[in-house]
A and B are shown apart, each in its own frame.
Chain A
Amino acid sequence: MRHTRDVHTLAGPYAMDAISPPDRARFDRHLARCEDCAREIASLREATARLAAAAAVSPPPALKARVMAAAAATRQRPPEPEPEPALRTWPLRTWPLRTRPVRTRPVRTRPVRTRQGRPTPSRRLAMAAGAVAAAAAVAAAVVFGVSNGGMQDQLSQAQASSQQVAAVLTARDATMMTGVVRGGGTVTIVMSHSMRELVFTAAALHALPASRGYELWLIGPAGDRAVIMLPPARHGMTGPVVASGLRPGDHLALTAEPASGAAHPAGRPTTPMMLDVVL
Protein backbone atom coordinates (compact mmCIF):
# COMPACT_ATOMS: atom_id res chain seq x y z
CA MET A 1 0.00 0.00 0.00
CA ARG A 2 2.96 2.29 -0.62
CA HIS A 3 0.95 4.24 -3.13
CA THR A 4 -1.80 5.02 -0.63
CA ARG A 5 0.69 6.17 1.96
CA ASP A 6 2.36 8.38 -0.63
CA VAL A 7 -0.91 10.00 -1.48
CA HIS A 8 -1.75 10.45 2.14
CA THR A 9 1.35 12.54 2.84
CA LEU A 10 -0.32 15.18 0.67
CA ALA A 11 -2.83 15.88 3.46
CA GLY A 12 -0.82 18.83 4.80
CA PRO A 13 -0.21 20.52 1.45
CA TYR A 14 -3.81 19.80 0.43
CA ALA A 15 -5.28 21.47 3.53
CA MET A 16 -3.22 24.58 2.74
CA ASP A 17 -3.88 24.56 -1.01
CA ALA A 18 -0.13 24.17 -1.43
CA ILE A 19 -0.59 21.64 -4.15
CA SER A 20 -0.52 21.45 -7.93
CA PRO A 21 -3.76 20.75 -9.79
CA PRO A 22 -2.80 17.14 -10.70
CA ASP A 23 -1.84 16.39 -7.10
CA ARG A 24 -5.09 17.94 -5.93
CA ALA A 25 -7.09 15.75 -8.28
CA ARG A 26 -5.19 12.69 -7.05
CA PHE A 27 -5.87 13.57 -3.45
CA ASP A 28 -9.53 14.30 -4.16
CA ARG A 29 -9.90 10.78 -5.51
CA HIS A 30 -8.17 9.45 -2.42
CA LEU A 31 -10.50 11.44 -0.15
CA ALA A 32 -13.57 10.04 -1.83
CA ARG A 33 -12.51 6.57 -0.72
CA CYS A 34 -11.08 7.37 2.69
CA GLU A 35 -13.48 8.59 5.35
CA ASP A 36 -10.68 8.93 7.92
CA CYS A 37 -8.73 11.13 5.55
CA ALA A 38 -11.77 13.31 4.93
CA ARG A 39 -12.13 13.74 8.69
CA GLU A 40 -8.47 14.60 9.05
CA ILE A 41 -8.64 17.18 6.27
CA ALA A 42 -11.73 18.71 7.90
CA SER A 43 -9.89 19.06 11.20
CA LEU A 44 -6.79 20.50 9.51
CA ARG A 45 -9.00 22.99 7.71
CA GLU A 46 -10.29 24.17 11.07
CA ALA A 47 -6.67 24.85 12.02
CA THR A 48 -5.92 26.75 8.81
CA ALA A 49 -9.10 28.79 9.32
CA ARG A 50 -7.53 29.96 12.57
CA LEU A 51 -4.40 30.98 10.68
CA ALA A 52 -6.66 33.05 8.45
CA ALA A 53 -8.39 34.55 11.47
CA ALA A 54 -5.07 35.69 12.83
CA ALA A 55 -4.57 37.72 9.67
CA ALA A 56 -7.94 39.50 9.86
CA VAL A 57 -8.00 43.06 8.59
CA SER A 58 -11.15 45.08 8.04
CA PRO A 59 -11.73 45.74 4.35
CA PRO A 60 -12.53 49.24 3.11
CA PRO A 61 -16.13 50.02 4.13
CA ALA A 62 -17.14 50.67 0.51
CA LEU A 63 -16.56 47.01 -0.29
CA LYS A 64 -19.65 45.93 1.58
CA ALA A 65 -22.00 47.98 -0.58
CA ARG A 66 -20.37 46.59 -3.71
CA VAL A 67 -20.68 43.01 -2.50
CA MET A 68 -24.30 43.42 -1.45
CA ALA A 69 -25.19 45.01 -4.79
CA ALA A 70 -23.40 42.29 -6.71
CA ALA A 71 -25.16 39.61 -4.66
CA ALA A 72 -28.54 41.18 -5.38
CA ALA A 73 -27.75 40.84 -9.08
CA THR A 74 -26.44 37.28 -8.85
CA ARG A 75 -28.58 34.21 -9.16
CA GLN A 76 -27.87 31.56 -6.54
CA ARG A 77 -27.17 27.98 -7.37
CA PRO A 78 -29.86 25.61 -6.25
CA PRO A 79 -28.96 22.76 -3.93
CA GLU A 80 -27.77 19.83 -5.93
CA PRO A 81 -30.13 16.89 -6.21
CA GLU A 82 -27.42 14.58 -4.90
CA PRO A 83 -25.74 16.66 -2.23
CA GLU A 84 -23.27 14.09 -1.04
CA PRO A 85 -20.26 14.62 -3.29
CA ALA A 86 -18.78 11.18 -2.78
CA LEU A 87 -21.90 9.54 -4.19
CA ARG A 88 -21.83 11.54 -7.37
CA THR A 89 -18.44 10.18 -8.20
CA TRP A 90 -19.31 6.54 -7.93
CA PRO A 91 -18.98 5.08 -11.34
CA LEU A 92 -21.45 2.51 -12.50
CA ARG A 93 -19.27 -0.51 -12.78
CA THR A 94 -19.21 -4.13 -12.11
CA TRP A 95 -17.97 -5.20 -8.77
CA PRO A 96 -14.75 -7.06 -9.36
CA LEU A 97 -15.76 -10.04 -7.27
CA ARG A 98 -17.87 -12.62 -9.00
CA THR A 99 -19.20 -15.92 -7.98
CA ARG A 100 -20.23 -18.81 -10.12
CA PRO A 101 -23.75 -18.70 -11.53
CA VAL A 102 -26.31 -20.55 -9.48
CA ARG A 103 -27.24 -23.91 -10.89
CA THR A 104 -30.90 -24.09 -11.73
CA ARG A 105 -32.61 -26.72 -9.71
CA PRO A 106 -35.82 -27.10 -7.73
CA VAL A 107 -35.93 -25.08 -4.59
CA ARG A 108 -37.96 -26.01 -1.59
CA THR A 109 -40.69 -23.50 -1.07
CA ARG A 110 -40.34 -22.06 2.34
CA PRO A 111 -43.29 -21.03 4.45
CA VAL A 112 -44.26 -17.43 3.99
CA ARG A 113 -43.92 -15.72 7.32
CA THR A 114 -45.45 -12.32 6.79
CA ARG A 115 -47.30 -10.32 4.17
CA GLN A 116 -50.86 -10.58 3.36
CA GLY A 117 -52.50 -7.84 1.39
CA ARG A 118 -52.90 -7.55 -2.30
CA PRO A 119 -49.83 -7.39 -4.42
CA THR A 120 -49.37 -4.11 -6.21
CA PRO A 121 -49.67 -4.25 -9.99
CA SER A 122 -45.91 -4.10 -10.44
CA ARG A 123 -45.39 -6.88 -7.97
CA ARG A 124 -48.06 -8.92 -9.63
CA LEU A 125 -46.23 -8.37 -12.90
CA ALA A 126 -42.98 -9.44 -11.38
CA MET A 127 -44.63 -12.51 -9.95
CA ALA A 128 -46.23 -13.28 -13.27
CA ALA A 129 -42.89 -13.00 -14.94
CA GLY A 130 -41.56 -15.46 -12.42
CA ALA A 131 -44.40 -17.85 -13.06
CA VAL A 132 -43.60 -18.30 -16.71
CA ALA A 133 -40.02 -19.14 -15.87
CA ALA A 134 -38.71 -22.37 -14.41
CA ALA A 135 -40.15 -23.91 -11.29
CA ALA A 136 -37.22 -22.63 -9.31
CA ALA A 137 -38.07 -19.11 -10.27
CA VAL A 138 -41.68 -19.57 -9.19
CA ALA A 139 -40.54 -20.63 -5.78
CA ALA A 140 -38.19 -17.72 -5.63
CA ALA A 141 -40.96 -15.34 -6.60
CA VAL A 142 -42.91 -16.41 -3.56
CA VAL A 143 -39.97 -15.64 -1.37
CA PHE A 144 -39.61 -12.39 -3.20
CA GLY A 145 -43.14 -11.48 -2.27
CA VAL A 146 -42.06 -11.79 1.32
CA SER A 147 -38.85 -9.91 1.06
CA ASN A 148 -40.40 -7.09 -0.87
CA GLY A 149 -42.95 -6.29 1.80
CA GLY A 150 -43.50 -2.89 3.39
CA MET A 151 -40.38 -1.15 4.59
CA GLN A 152 -41.42 -1.44 8.20
CA ASP A 153 -42.08 -5.14 7.85
CA GLN A 154 -38.69 -5.57 6.35
CA LEU A 155 -37.01 -3.64 9.07
CA SER A 156 -38.52 -5.61 11.87
CA GLN A 157 -37.95 -8.76 9.92
CA ALA A 158 -34.29 -7.89 9.47
CA GLN A 159 -33.83 -7.01 13.08
CA ALA A 160 -35.54 -10.11 14.27
CA SER A 161 -33.65 -12.33 11.93
CA SER A 162 -30.55 -13.25 13.87
CA GLN A 163 -31.43 -16.91 13.34
CA GLN A 164 -31.70 -16.28 9.63
CA VAL A 165 -28.31 -14.54 9.70
CA ALA A 166 -26.77 -17.39 11.63
CA ALA A 167 -28.24 -19.89 9.18
CA VAL A 168 -26.56 -18.18 6.23
CA LEU A 169 -23.27 -17.69 8.02
CA THR A 170 -23.08 -21.34 8.97
CA ALA A 171 -24.33 -22.69 5.66
CA ARG A 172 -22.15 -25.38 4.21
CA ASP A 173 -21.64 -23.37 1.02
CA ALA A 174 -21.29 -19.93 2.64
CA THR A 175 -19.00 -17.70 0.60
CA MET A 176 -17.65 -14.44 1.92
CA MET A 177 -16.94 -11.43 -0.26
CA THR A 178 -15.58 -8.10 0.89
CA GLY A 179 -14.93 -4.93 -0.95
CA VAL A 180 -14.18 -1.26 -0.64
CA VAL A 181 -17.08 1.00 -1.34
CA ARG A 182 -16.48 3.84 -3.74
CA GLY A 183 -17.50 6.88 -1.80
CA GLY A 184 -16.41 5.48 1.51
CA GLY A 185 -16.78 2.35 3.55
CA THR A 186 -16.47 -1.37 3.12
CA VAL A 187 -19.04 -4.07 2.67
CA THR A 188 -18.97 -7.70 3.57
CA ILE A 189 -21.35 -10.21 2.09
CA VAL A 190 -21.78 -13.80 3.07
CA MET A 191 -23.86 -15.70 0.57
CA SER A 192 -25.28 -19.15 0.47
CA HIS A 193 -26.22 -20.36 -2.98
CA SER A 194 -28.15 -23.28 -1.66
CA MET A 195 -30.26 -21.08 0.59
CA ARG A 196 -30.47 -18.32 -2.01
CA GLU A 197 -29.83 -15.83 0.71
CA LEU A 198 -27.10 -13.47 1.64
CA VAL A 199 -26.14 -11.48 4.69
CA PHE A 200 -25.03 -7.94 4.03
CA THR A 201 -23.05 -5.74 6.41
CA ALA A 202 -21.24 -2.49 5.83
CA ALA A 203 -18.76 -0.44 7.81
CA ALA A 204 -18.04 3.27 7.70
CA LEU A 205 -20.42 4.07 4.87
CA HIS A 206 -20.35 7.71 3.82
CA ALA A 207 -22.78 9.45 6.18
CA LEU A 208 -25.96 10.71 4.55
CA PRO A 209 -28.18 13.55 5.70
CA ALA A 210 -31.14 12.47 7.84
CA SER A 211 -33.48 12.86 4.88
CA ARG A 212 -31.69 10.12 2.98
CA GLY A 213 -30.70 6.55 3.52
CA TYR A 214 -29.10 3.61 1.82
CA GLU A 215 -31.37 1.14 0.10
CA LEU A 216 -30.33 -2.32 -0.91
CA TRP A 217 -31.68 -3.79 -4.16
CA LEU A 218 -31.69 -6.97 -6.10
CA ILE A 219 -31.64 -6.20 -9.77
CA GLY A 220 -31.99 -8.96 -12.26
CA PRO A 221 -33.81 -10.21 -15.32
CA ALA A 222 -37.08 -10.13 -13.38
CA GLY A 223 -36.75 -6.46 -12.49
CA ASP A 224 -35.71 -4.39 -9.53
CA ARG A 225 -36.58 -5.59 -6.09
CA ALA A 226 -36.13 -3.44 -3.02
CA VAL A 227 -34.52 -5.60 -0.39
CA ILE A 228 -34.45 -3.21 2.49
CA MET A 229 -33.83 0.31 3.56
CA LEU A 230 -30.67 -0.10 5.61
CA PRO A 231 -31.03 0.93 9.24
CA PRO A 232 -28.84 3.84 10.34
CA ALA A 233 -25.26 2.91 11.17
CA ARG A 234 -24.43 2.20 14.78
CA HIS A 235 -20.81 2.77 15.76
CA GLY A 236 -20.06 2.92 12.06
CA MET A 237 -21.57 -0.49 11.39
CA THR A 238 -24.61 -1.06 9.20
CA GLY A 239 -26.56 -4.28 9.30
CA PRO A 240 -26.49 -7.18 9.21
CA VAL A 241 -29.48 -7.50 6.92
CA VAL A 242 -30.60 -10.51 4.97
CA ALA A 243 -31.53 -10.57 1.31
CA SER A 244 -33.62 -13.57 0.39
CA GLY A 245 -34.87 -15.01 -2.84
CA LEU A 246 -31.72 -14.56 -4.86
CA ARG A 247 -32.11 -15.63 -8.45
CA PRO A 248 -29.61 -16.45 -11.14
CA GLY A 249 -28.52 -13.28 -12.88
CA ASP A 250 -29.29 -11.06 -9.90
CA HIS A 251 -27.11 -8.12 -9.10
CA LEU A 252 -26.92 -6.61 -5.67
CA ALA A 253 -26.95 -2.83 -5.66
CA LEU A 254 -26.82 -0.16 -3.01
CA THR A 255 -28.09 3.33 -3.70
CA ALA A 256 -28.79 6.50 -1.74
CA GLU A 257 -32.52 7.21 -1.73
CA PRO A 258 -34.97 9.37 0.21
CA ALA A 259 -35.23 8.03 3.77
CA SER A 260 -38.79 6.90 3.12
CA GLY A 261 -37.50 4.49 0.53
CA ALA A 262 -38.03 4.33 -3.21
CA ALA A 263 -39.99 1.84 -5.27
CA HIS A 264 -37.21 1.66 -7.83
CA PRO A 265 -33.60 2.76 -7.73
CA ALA A 266 -33.80 6.43 -8.69
CA GLY A 267 -32.48 7.39 -12.05
CA ARG A 268 -31.22 4.01 -13.08
CA PRO A 269 -28.97 3.40 -14.99
CA THR A 270 -27.20 6.59 -14.00
CA THR A 271 -27.76 5.86 -10.34
CA PRO A 272 -24.41 5.29 -8.78
CA MET A 273 -24.05 1.71 -7.77
CA MET A 274 -21.30 0.99 -5.46
CA LEU A 275 -21.90 -2.67 -5.38
CA ASP A 276 -22.80 -4.97 -8.16
CA VAL A 277 -22.39 -8.61 -7.39
CA VAL A 278 -23.33 -11.03 -10.09
CA LEU A 279 -24.98 -14.00 -8.47
Chain B
Amino acid sequence: MTAIDRPDPDRARPSTAEPGAAADLTTCLRLVARGDADAFDTVYDHVAATVFGIVRRVVRDPAQSEEVTQDVLLEVWRNAAKFDPGRGSATAWVMMLAHRRAVDRVRSVQKETERERRTAVADIPFDEVAEAVESSLERERVRRCLGSLTELQRESVTLAYYGGYTYSQVASLLGVPSGTIKTRMRDALIRLRDCLGVAS
Protein backbone atom coordinates (compact mmCIF):
# COMPACT_ATOMS: atom_id res chain seq x y z
CA MET B 1 0.00 0.00 0.00
CA THR B 2 2.47 2.57 -1.18
CA ALA B 3 2.60 5.29 -3.76
CA ILE B 4 3.84 2.64 -6.18
CA ASP B 5 0.36 1.15 -6.14
CA ARG B 6 -0.91 4.41 -7.47
CA PRO B 7 0.83 5.31 -10.69
CA ASP B 8 -1.26 8.40 -11.15
CA PRO B 9 -1.58 10.24 -7.86
CA ASP B 10 -3.68 12.99 -9.37
CA ARG B 11 -6.31 10.48 -10.28
CA ALA B 12 -6.42 8.92 -6.89
CA ARG B 13 -6.54 12.19 -5.09
CA PRO B 14 -9.99 12.75 -3.70
CA SER B 15 -12.00 15.26 -5.55
CA THR B 16 -12.96 17.00 -2.31
CA ALA B 17 -9.42 18.31 -2.15
CA GLU B 18 -10.09 20.26 -5.34
CA PRO B 19 -13.26 22.27 -5.63
CA GLY B 20 -12.97 22.24 -9.44
CA ALA B 21 -12.84 18.49 -9.54
CA ALA B 22 -15.77 18.22 -7.12
CA ALA B 23 -17.86 20.38 -9.41
CA ASP B 24 -16.73 18.21 -12.34
CA LEU B 25 -17.81 15.07 -10.57
CA THR B 26 -21.24 16.56 -9.91
CA THR B 27 -21.55 17.55 -13.56
CA CYS B 28 -20.37 14.12 -14.68
CA LEU B 29 -22.92 12.38 -12.47
CA ARG B 30 -25.65 14.46 -14.01
CA LEU B 31 -24.49 13.30 -17.44
CA VAL B 32 -24.19 9.71 -16.23
CA ALA B 33 -27.82 9.91 -15.16
CA ARG B 34 -28.65 10.49 -18.83
CA GLY B 35 -26.70 7.43 -19.89
CA ASP B 36 -23.49 9.18 -20.93
CA ALA B 37 -20.81 6.45 -21.00
CA ASP B 38 -17.94 8.93 -21.46
CA ALA B 39 -18.98 10.76 -18.34
CA PHE B 40 -19.10 7.43 -16.52
CA ASP B 41 -15.56 6.77 -17.70
CA THR B 42 -14.50 10.06 -16.09
CA VAL B 43 -16.40 9.25 -12.90
CA TYR B 44 -14.61 5.92 -12.75
CA ASP B 45 -11.23 7.64 -13.00
CA HIS B 46 -12.23 10.08 -10.25
CA VAL B 47 -13.50 7.63 -7.69
CA ALA B 48 -12.24 4.10 -8.45
CA ALA B 49 -9.10 4.32 -6.30
CA THR B 50 -10.96 5.72 -3.32
CA VAL B 51 -13.79 3.22 -3.64
CA PHE B 52 -11.42 0.30 -4.04
CA GLY B 53 -9.24 1.57 -1.21
CA ILE B 54 -12.01 1.83 1.37
CA VAL B 55 -13.66 -1.39 0.24
CA ARG B 56 -10.40 -3.27 0.51
CA ARG B 57 -9.73 -1.78 3.92
CA VAL B 58 -13.04 -3.06 5.20
CA VAL B 59 -13.41 -6.30 3.25
CA ARG B 60 -9.72 -7.22 3.17
CA ASP B 61 -10.02 -10.10 0.72
CA PRO B 62 -8.70 -8.74 -2.62
CA ALA B 63 -10.99 -10.76 -4.88
CA GLN B 64 -14.09 -9.87 -2.86
CA SER B 65 -12.96 -6.27 -2.75
CA GLU B 66 -12.90 -6.14 -6.53
CA GLU B 67 -16.38 -7.59 -6.69
CA VAL B 68 -17.72 -5.09 -4.21
CA THR B 69 -15.97 -2.22 -6.01
CA GLN B 70 -17.61 -3.29 -9.24
CA ASP B 71 -21.00 -3.45 -7.51
CA VAL B 72 -20.51 0.04 -6.09
CA LEU B 73 -19.58 1.55 -9.44
CA LEU B 74 -22.52 -0.16 -11.11
CA GLU B 75 -24.74 1.26 -8.42
CA VAL B 76 -23.37 4.71 -9.26
CA TRP B 77 -24.20 4.07 -12.91
CA ARG B 78 -27.67 2.75 -12.18
CA ASN B 79 -28.68 5.30 -9.59
CA ALA B 80 -26.90 8.46 -10.75
CA ALA B 81 -30.29 10.13 -11.11
CA LYS B 82 -30.80 9.72 -7.38
CA PHE B 83 -27.80 11.83 -6.47
CA ASP B 84 -28.97 15.13 -5.02
CA PRO B 85 -26.24 17.81 -4.86
CA GLY B 86 -28.35 19.63 -2.28
CA ARG B 87 -27.68 16.89 0.23
CA GLY B 88 -23.91 16.60 0.08
CA SER B 89 -21.02 16.34 -2.32
CA ALA B 90 -20.79 13.78 -5.09
CA THR B 91 -17.72 12.27 -3.45
CA ALA B 92 -19.53 11.84 -0.16
CA TRP B 93 -22.43 10.17 -1.96
CA VAL B 94 -20.20 7.67 -3.76
CA MET B 95 -18.20 6.95 -0.61
CA MET B 96 -21.40 6.36 1.32
CA LEU B 97 -22.46 3.75 -1.25
CA ALA B 98 -18.99 2.19 -1.18
CA HIS B 99 -18.69 1.98 2.58
CA ARG B 100 -22.20 0.70 3.03
CA ARG B 101 -21.68 -2.07 0.48
CA ALA B 102 -18.38 -3.04 2.02
CA VAL B 103 -19.91 -3.21 5.45
CA ASP B 104 -22.89 -5.19 4.14
CA ARG B 105 -20.50 -7.67 2.61
CA VAL B 106 -18.52 -8.30 5.77
CA ARG B 107 -21.63 -8.47 7.91
CA SER B 108 -23.34 -10.97 5.62
CA VAL B 109 -20.44 -13.36 6.05
CA GLN B 110 -19.85 -12.37 9.62
CA LYS B 111 -21.56 -15.29 11.26
CA GLU B 112 -19.28 -17.99 9.84
CA THR B 113 -16.15 -15.96 10.25
CA GLU B 114 -16.96 -14.33 13.55
CA ARG B 115 -14.18 -16.17 15.33
CA GLU B 116 -11.53 -15.38 12.72
CA ARG B 117 -12.40 -11.73 12.67
CA ARG B 118 -12.35 -11.52 16.42
CA THR B 119 -8.85 -12.91 16.32
CA ALA B 120 -7.90 -10.69 13.46
CA VAL B 121 -8.98 -7.55 15.22
CA ALA B 122 -6.10 -7.86 17.63
CA ASP B 123 -3.83 -7.49 14.64
CA ILE B 124 -5.42 -4.34 13.32
CA PRO B 125 -3.12 -1.52 14.22
CA PHE B 126 -5.11 1.47 15.37
CA ASP B 127 -2.69 3.66 13.53
CA GLU B 128 -3.68 1.97 10.30
CA VAL B 129 -3.97 5.15 8.37
CA ALA B 130 -0.36 5.96 9.10
CA GLU B 131 0.51 2.66 7.50
CA ALA B 132 -1.11 3.81 4.31
CA VAL B 133 0.28 7.28 4.34
CA GLU B 134 2.97 7.96 1.84
CA SER B 135 3.38 11.17 -0.02
CA SER B 136 -0.21 12.20 -0.36
CA LEU B 137 -0.96 15.51 1.23
CA GLU B 138 -4.52 14.36 1.82
CA ARG B 139 -3.40 11.31 3.75
CA GLU B 140 -1.10 13.43 5.80
CA ARG B 141 -3.94 15.79 6.66
CA VAL B 142 -6.26 12.97 7.66
CA ARG B 143 -3.53 11.34 9.72
CA ARG B 144 -2.85 14.60 11.50
CA CYS B 145 -6.53 15.14 12.24
CA LEU B 146 -6.96 11.57 13.49
CA GLY B 147 -3.96 12.30 15.71
CA SER B 148 -5.81 15.23 17.25
CA LEU B 149 -8.55 12.93 18.60
CA THR B 150 -8.49 11.30 21.99
CA GLU B 151 -7.36 7.71 21.95
CA LEU B 152 -10.85 6.37 22.54
CA GLN B 153 -12.28 8.57 19.79
CA ARG B 154 -9.60 7.48 17.35
CA GLU B 155 -10.03 3.81 18.15
CA SER B 156 -13.80 4.06 17.81
CA VAL B 157 -13.57 5.70 14.40
CA THR B 158 -10.88 3.38 13.14
CA LEU B 159 -12.69 0.23 14.19
CA ALA B 160 -16.05 1.44 12.95
CA TYR B 161 -15.07 3.01 9.66
CA TYR B 162 -12.02 1.02 8.59
CA GLY B 163 -12.91 -2.14 10.49
CA GLY B 164 -16.60 -2.19 9.55
CA TYR B 165 -17.77 -2.91 13.09
CA THR B 166 -21.04 -1.75 14.60
CA TYR B 167 -20.84 0.57 17.56
CA SER B 168 -21.91 -2.20 19.93
CA GLN B 169 -19.19 -4.46 18.57
CA VAL B 170 -16.70 -1.63 18.99
CA ALA B 171 -17.94 -1.16 22.54
CA SER B 172 -17.36 -4.78 23.44
CA LEU B 173 -13.98 -4.87 21.68
CA LEU B 174 -12.83 -1.88 23.68
CA GLY B 175 -14.61 -2.85 26.89
CA VAL B 176 -16.47 0.45 27.05
CA PRO B 177 -20.24 0.96 27.49
CA SER B 178 -21.96 1.30 24.13
CA GLY B 179 -23.56 4.61 25.14
CA THR B 180 -20.09 6.04 25.60
CA ILE B 181 -18.93 4.72 22.23
CA LYS B 182 -21.92 6.24 20.46
CA THR B 183 -21.17 9.71 21.76
CA ARG B 184 -17.41 9.33 21.21
CA MET B 185 -18.07 8.45 17.58
CA ARG B 186 -20.15 11.53 17.05
CA ASP B 187 -17.69 13.79 18.88
CA ALA B 188 -14.84 12.30 16.89
CA LEU B 189 -16.50 12.89 13.52
CA ILE B 190 -17.37 16.45 14.47
CA ARG B 191 -13.75 17.07 15.42
CA LEU B 192 -12.51 15.43 12.24
CA ARG B 193 -14.92 17.45 10.17
CA ASP B 194 -13.75 20.69 11.75
CA CYS B 195 -10.10 19.73 11.58
CA LEU B 196 -10.37 18.77 7.90
CA GLY B 197 -12.20 21.98 7.11
CA VAL B 198 -15.04 20.10 5.47
CA ALA B 199 -17.68 22.40 4.03
CA SER B 200 -21.00 21.21 5.32
Contact = CB atoms under 8 A, between A and B. Distances in A.
Interface of A: 9-13, 15-20, 38-40, 42-60, 63-64, 66-68, 70-72, 74-80, 83, 207, 209
Given A52-B53, A67-B70, 12 more contacts: A13-B166, A13-B182, A42-B88, A42-B200, A45-B88, A47-B193, A51-B54, A56-B52, A58-B11, A64-B48, A76-B33, A79-B33
A99 B69 CA distance: 56
Contact of B196 (A9, A50, A70, A76): A50
Given A55-B54, A63-B52, A76-B80, A10 B182 contact: yes
B28 interface: no
Interface in B43-65: 44, 48-54, 56-57
Contacts of A83: 82, 84
Nearest to B32: A76
B68 to A, nearest CB: 11
Contacts of A55: 50, 53-54, 56-57, 129, 132, 162
A202 to B, nearest CB: 18
Interface of B: 1, 5-8, 11-14, 16-17, 33, 35, 37, 40-41, 44, 48-54, 56-57, 66, 69-70, 73-74, 77-82, 84, 86-89, 91-92, 95-96, 98-100, 103, 129, 132-133, 136, 138-139, 141-143, 157, 160-162, 164-168, 170, 179, 181-190, 192-193, 196, 198-200
A245 B163 CA distance: 61
A80 B124 CA distance: 42
Given A49-B91, A79-B81, A59 B49 contact: yes
Contact of B6 (A40, A42, A56, A74): A56
A52 B99 contact: yes
A83 B83 CA distance: 10
Nearest to A51: B161
Nearest to B188: A12
Nearest to B80: A76
Contacts of B13: 53, 56
A45 B96 contact: yes
Given A18-B166, A48-B99, A79-B33, A12 B48 contact: no
A49 B14 contact: yes
B24 to A, nearest CB: 16
Contacts of B179: 9
B6 A57 contact: yes
A68 B48 CA distance: 12
Given A9-B182, A58-B52, A47 B192 contact: yes
Contact of A63 (B57, B70, B81): B70
B124 to A, nearest CB: 13
Contact of B5 (A40, A48, A57, A75): A57
A80 B44 contact: no
Contacts of B35: 76
Contacts of A76: 33, 35, 77-81
A44 B198 CA distance: 9
Contact of B165 (A18, A58, A63): A18
Contact of B193 (A16, A44, A54, A63): A44
Contacts of A66: 70
Contacts of A56: 6, 12-14, 49-50, 52-54, 136
A48 B95 contact: yes
Contact of B100 (A17, A20, A54, A78): A17
A15 B33 CA distance: 25
B82 to A, nearest CB: 7
9 contacts: A48-B95, A48-B189, A49-B89, A51-B192, A55-B54, A59-B49, A71-B40, A74-B74, A76-B80
